[in-house]
Amino acid sequence: MKSRSHLCPVLLATCASLAVATAAAAEETEYPHAYPRTGVTKLFENERGIAWNVIWLYGVEQPYHKHRYDMAGVYLRWGPIRVTQLDGSYPPTSEPFEIPRPYFQRKDVLHKEEVLGFPPDSPQRWAIMFDLKEVQSKPVMPKAGMPLAFPRTGAEMAIDNDRVTEWKHSWQIGAAVPTHLHDKDSVQVFYEPGTLRFTREDGSIEVMNFQVGDARFIPAGTIDAEEAVMGTPAAVTIELK
C-alpha cells in the first residue's frame, strides 16, 4: 500500500489539472452578452454604441453573462443586488450611493446579478447604460472664440479615462448657457425633469421636454445655446473619445 506521503502529490497534481481544465472550459463557454435581458429595453443604437434602460427585477434570476463592450452609464436609483462571480463567490452588498451615480466598466466582465430585499411592487435598481463600440471619435475643431460644451460653469467632472469623460450638470431658469460646440459625440442622460430651449447655429429654436431617464445622442459638431424654461433639468453628459 502506498503511503499518504506518496498519494498527496498525485492528488494535488490531479486537483491542479482539474482546476486548469475547469478554467479552460469557462473560457471556451459562450456566455450571452449582458443585454438584452428581462427588465432591459434598448433606447437607441448607432455607430458609437447602444443605449439601454436597465432595471434589476426582484425575483428574476439572471444568467451568467459577459460584458462584451466597455460600458458607461448613470445609475438613477439605488437597490441592493448581489453580483456573483463564476466561481460562486460574491462581494458584500454595496451601501446606498448618491443619485445620480455616473459609472464606467471595462469589457469582458463575467458575472450574474440578482436583486436582494425588495418586494416585487417596490422600486428596483435602475440605470441607463451605454455599450461603447470600438469606434474612435473624430473631434470637431471649434471656431475662433467659440467655447466648447464642456468644461463649463456648474459642470462637475465625474469620470475621465481613455474612453469617456462624464459631466454632471444642471440648467437654471434665467441662466442661459451661451452658444457652444459639442466637439465630441455625446450621450446625455437626464436625472431631473424639465424643459430646455435650444437655439441652433442657424437661429432656429427647438423646445424639448425631458423626464428622468430620458437619454439622447448629441453628434460631434452640434452648435447651440441652451436655456431652461421650466423645471430644474439636470443631466449627466458622457463625452465619447
Residue extent(s) of CATH 2.60.120.10 domains in the chain: 40-132, 156-240
pTM comes to: 0.85
The alpha carbon torsion through 194, 195, 198, 204 (nearest 10 deg) reads 170
In the CATH hierarchy, which fold is given to the domain comprising 40-132?
Jelly Rolls (2.60.120)
Question: CA 65 → CA 48, 78, 195, distances in Å?
Answer: 22, 21, 38
Q: pLDDT for 63-93, tens place per residue?
A: 999 999 999 999 999 999 999 999 999 988 8
Query: What are phi and psi for residue 16, nearest 5 degrees?
Result: -65, -40
Sign of CA dihedral 147, 142, 196, 185: negative
Superfamily of domain 156-240: Jelly Rolls (2.60.120.10)
* Average pLDDT of span 42-47: 98
> Which segment of 7-16, 144-153, 185-194 scores lowest on mean pLDDT?
7-16
Q: Helices marked H in 48-177 — which ranges?
A: none
Assign 137 a pLDDT band (cuts: 50, 70, 90).
confident
Calpha distance 196→203 (Å, rounded): 16
